[in-house]
């Protein structure tokens, strides 16, 4: 994907997660960004690292000029659902592969 941004999530000196995002390119929309990868090591889930990383990335995307952020997750991933909803994402549809599509509007 064009213009990928990748962020490692650390606890002290150890990488415990990864997050990747990009601006929409098809069709080009500089106000829409996608968070298309987000992983926290299972040994560190439920400790607030995902919430903090997501909030920091949302702020970074906002600084890049985004008005909306899209992300998606598998219907069975209740942890992702809870995390994204807590951050203000709402459901707006389904993708062709069955993933649930979510959006956060930036104010």
Q: What ranges do the domains of the chain cover? A: 5-105
Instruction: For residue 20, give both structure tokens.
Output: 């990747």
Question: Residue 85's pLDDT is what?
Answer: 97
For 23-62, how does the pLDDT look when each residue is reduced to its tens digit (9 = 90+)? Answer: 998 899 999 999 999 999 999 999 999 999 999 999 999 9
For 54-104, how does the pLDDT look when each residue is reduced to its tens digit (9 = 90+)? Answer: 999 999 999 999 999 999 999 999 999 999 999 999 999 999 999 999 999
**pTM, two decimal places:** 0.91
**CATH topology classification for 5-105:** Aminopeptidase (3.40.630)
Q: CB-side exposure of 14: number of CA atoms within 13 Å?
A: 7
* Residues 75, 79, 80, 83, Cα dihedral to 10°: 140
Positive or negative: CA dihedral 32, 33, 35, 36? positive
């Amino acid at each position: 994907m064009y213009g990928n941004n990748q962020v490692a999530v650390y606890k002290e000196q150890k990488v415990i997660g990864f997050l990747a995002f990009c601006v929409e390119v098809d069709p080009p929309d500089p106000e829409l960004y996608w968070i298309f990868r987000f992983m926290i090591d299972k040994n560190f889930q439920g400790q607030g690292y995902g919430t903090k990383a997501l909030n920091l990335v949302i702020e970074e995307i906002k600084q890049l000029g985004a008005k909306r952020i899209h992300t998606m997750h598998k219907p069975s991933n209740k942890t992702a659902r809870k995390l994204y909803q807590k951050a203000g994402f709402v459901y707006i549809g389904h993708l062709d592969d069955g993933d649930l599509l979510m959006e956060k509007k930036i104010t």
